[in-house]
């Protein structure tokens, strides 16, 4: 039995009616003393965001910046030195028309229902001011903007691109505020056009031809150049019917606009809530499921990188169609997101863009007041103020793990080989030396478990050669996996009125030889 230590006293105070230590299971983590050959570079923007285009003004702010979005992103930027990247697009990028006389945006929404309380717009018209709201992102934000391929209307795609480039021109306020246009994306999930806006037997070759027809005039008008400041992100498929490799074989990279492709994007969700359904958090918190959902992309990642291009997960989250209640909005989903993000990094996925929309269940945060419940569409009176959801804490853990040196390209990550069931771990190296490790205990500790058993603990012995005698530990404290609020990262909360940290930071320092404890449904970060 280990000395309880300060942390345990702290948790005893916090949860005095719960058993703090159940069964202790001993295990071991061997941390290589230098980055193994399969380690991967960590990008400071590893954890980035994709936003549904229809309600972009709500995220950004209309007349001044939305302080909730701004603070949520800036908290992350302080950890890595760079704000998350922002992609605006998705479903509604293929339903957008640009018009010269549109002030900001006019949007048509379908009726909400219990499964989909906040449906995407069926159509929208935007004007120049719409893209100019990019100026409200935190300084240093790099953006991707979507163009409409669904309509296959070259005039409209060119109009949208020109409006975007005007918003980011060298004299623009956006540029003066340090917000940068990185990439343009033509078409969202074009593999799903089949049977909707394209014939059901539409092939990848026909997609590539269609993309070239629309992208060629766009590239000419906005004067893209090889190695220029703005690149093209392509593919953005979501099924396995069309693949990045398939598009390479169909010649996308050999085309005129294909020369400007710098990034390949894949979209993925581990499940779908489009028609509702019953999802179980326990089955979601599974180490093998996280790996199963990501390793299928290994051949595309290899094919992409062998061509000198960057591979990103350009839109993702737990469960498609805005998330499932009781899974996507829980503390368990925060642990899932830590493992999913870091796992993606070890596979060579440079960035992973978590999708969000106003009132979506899987959002990291809700940036505006809501007068209907995102969970079941019930009327909320008074409206809920903007709030953070548990996955936001995943970003705090991941970005602390990534650290401020990643921007210089000197930070690497590798997965640790662990035998304890559902315990995942990663080592992070800076300038060739072990700097930090992250452990995630995915075993689910649900409210219902507390009635029948005790919460189990892994005791991890750390074996590696290092001069450091002491380690510092910070915990993501979770009451239960099915909690939807009240997480604590190092004793601090971000669930405050304006998403600014409150409370005093709590970390533990112990001798390296003592090892560390991690409870079911907990994540820890260790500094060496």
Which residues contact ligand NAG by CB under 6 A?
A: 52, 90-91, 94, 97, 110, 113, 115-116, 119, 153, 155-156, 159, 188-189, 192-193, 199, 201, 203, 270-271, 282-286, 289, 292-293, 373, 375-376, 378, 421-422, 444
Q: How far does the chain reach from its first CA to its final CA, in angstroms?
A: 23
Minimum gap (Å) between residue 38 Cβ and ligand NAG = 21
- In eight-state DSSP terms, residue 178 is T
CB of residue 285 to ligand NAG, shortest distance in Å:
6
Is-contact 413 342, C-beta < 8 A?
yes
Nearer to ligand NAG, 342 or 444 (CB): 444
CA distance readout (Å), 400 to 397, 451, 476: 5, 34, 12
Q: Report the residue number, 312 or 444, with the smaller CB distance to ligand NAG.
A: 444
Separation CA 200–CA 197 (nearest Å): 9
- Specify the residue, 182 or 185, whose C-beta has the smaller distance to ligand NAG: 185
Q: What is the nearest approach in angstroms of ligand NAG to the Cβ of residue 452? A: 15
Rounded least distance, CB 335 to ligand NAG, Å:
11
- Structure tokens belonging to residue 291: 């790996």
Give the shortest CB-282-to-ligand NAG separation in angstroms: 4
Cis ω before 32 (30° cut-off from 0): no
User: From CA 488, how far away is CA 468, in angstroms rounded?
Assistant: 27
User: How far apart are alpha carbons 337 and 76 in whole angstroms?
Assistant: 15
* Contact criterion met (CB below 8 Å) for 145 and 167: no
Smallest CA-to-CA distance from 208 within 269, 261, 157 is with: 261
Smallest gap from Cβ 471 to ligand NAG, in A, equals 27
Q: C-beta of 30: minimal distance to ligand NAG in Å?
A: 19
Considering the complex, state which of residue 15 and residue 151 has its C-beta at the smaller distance from ligand NAG. Answer: 151
DSSP characters over 459-520: EEEEE---S--EEEEEEEE-S-TT--S--EETTBB--STTS--BS----EEEEGGG-EEEES
Given the complex with ligand NAG, which of 292 and 409 has the nearer CB atom?
A: 292
Of 62, 70, 300, 63, which Cα lies nearest the Cα of 204? 300
Q: Across-strand partners of 355?
A: 50
Instruction: Pick the closer one to ligand NAG by CB: 138 or 390.
Output: 390
Q: Which is nearer to ligand NAG, 255 or 443 (CB)?
A: 443
Nearer to ligand NAG, 158 or 462 (CB): 158
Q: Which is nearer to ligand NAG, 375 or 410 (CB)?
A: 375
Q: What are phi and psi of 517, to 5 degrees?
A: -105, 145
Which C-beta is closer to ligand NAG: that of 90 or that of 435?
Answer: 90
Q: How far is the CB of 275 from ligand NAG (least distance, A)?
A: 7
Nearest distance, CB of residue 176 and ligand NAG, angstroms? 29
Which residues, at least 6 apart from 96, have a Cβ–Cβ distance to it below 8 Å? 53, 123, 124, 125, 126, 146, 148, 160
Nearer to ligand NAG, 80 or 236 (CB): 236
* CB-closest chain residue to ligand NAG: 292
- 45 token code pair: 């923007």
Structure tokens at 418: 């662990």
The CB-of-344 to ligand NAG minimum distance in angstroms stands at 13
Q: What does the DSSP assignment read for 332-399?
A: HHHHHHHHHHHHHHHTT---EEEEE-TT-TT-SEE-S-EEE-TTT--EEEEEEPPEE-THHHHHHHHH
DSSP assignments along 316-336, one per residue: EESSBTT--TTTTTSHHHHHH
Min dist. Cβ of residue 453 to ligand NAG (A): 14
């Amino acid at each position: 039995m280990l000395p309880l230590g300060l942390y345990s006293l702290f948790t005893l105070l916090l949860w005095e009616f719960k058993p703090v230590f159940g069964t202790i299971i001993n295990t071991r983590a061997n941390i290589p003393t230098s980055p193994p050959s399969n380690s991967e570079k960590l990008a400071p923007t590893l954890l980035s965001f994709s936003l549904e285009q229809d309600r972009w003004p709500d995220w950004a702010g209309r007349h001044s910046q939305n302080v909730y979005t701004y603070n949520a992103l800036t908290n992350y930027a302080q950890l890595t030195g760079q704000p998350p990247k922002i992609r605006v697009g998705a479903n509604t990028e293929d339903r957008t028309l640009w018009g010269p006389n549109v002030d900001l945006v006019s949007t048509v929404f379908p009726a909400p229902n219990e499964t989909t309380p906040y449906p995407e717009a069926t159509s929208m018209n935007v004007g120049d001011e719409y893209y100019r709201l990019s100026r409200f992102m935190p300084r240093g934000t790099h953006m991707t903007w979507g163009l409409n391929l669904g309509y296959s209307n070259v005039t409209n795609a060119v109009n949208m691109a020109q409006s975007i480039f005007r918003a980011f021109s060298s004299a623009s306020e956006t540029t003066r505020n340090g917000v940068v246009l990185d990439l343009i994306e033509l078409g969202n999930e074009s593999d799903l056009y089949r049977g909707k806006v394209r014939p059901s037997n539409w092939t990848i070759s026909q997609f590539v031809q269609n993309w070239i027809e629309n992208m060629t005039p766009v590239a000419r008008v906005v004067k893209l150049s090889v190695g220029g400041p703005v690149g093209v992100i392509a593919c953005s498929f979501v099924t396995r019917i069309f693949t990045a490799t398939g598009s390479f074989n169909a010649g996308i990279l050999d085309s005129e606009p294909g020369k400007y492709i710098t990034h390949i994007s894949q979209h993925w969700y581990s499940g779908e809530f489009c028609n509702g359904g019953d999802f179980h958090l326990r089955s979601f918190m599974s180490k093998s499921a996280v790996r199963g959902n990501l390793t299928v992309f290994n051949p595309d990642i290899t094919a992409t990188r062998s061509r000198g291009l960057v591979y990103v997960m350009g839109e993702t989250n737990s469960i498609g169609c805005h998330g499932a209640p009781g899974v996507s909005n829980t503390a368990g989903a925060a642990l899932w997101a830590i493992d999913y993000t870091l796992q993606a990094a070890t596979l060579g996925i440079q960035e992973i863009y978590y999708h969000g929309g106003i009132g979506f269940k899987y959002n990291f945060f809700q940036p505006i007041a809501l007068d209907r419940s995102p969970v079941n569409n019930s009327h909320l009176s008074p409206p809920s103020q903007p709030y953070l959801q548990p996955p936001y804490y995943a970003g705090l853990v991941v970005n602390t793990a990534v650290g401020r040196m990643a921007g210089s390209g000197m930070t690497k990550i590798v997965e640790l080989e662990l035998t304890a069931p559902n315990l995942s771990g990663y080592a992070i190296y800076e300038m060739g030396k072990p700097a930090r490790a992250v452990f995630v205990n995915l075993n689910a500790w649900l409210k219902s478990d507390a009635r029948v058993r005790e919460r189990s603990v892994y005791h991890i012995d750390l074996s590696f050669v290092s001069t450091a005698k002491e380690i510092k530990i910070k915990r993501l404290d979770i009451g239960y996996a099915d909690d939807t609020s009240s997480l604590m990262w190092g004793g601090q909360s971000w669930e405050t009125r304006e998403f600014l940290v409150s409370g005093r930071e709590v970390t533990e320092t112990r001798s390296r030889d003592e090892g560390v404890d991690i409870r079911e449904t907990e994540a820890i970060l260790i500094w060496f």
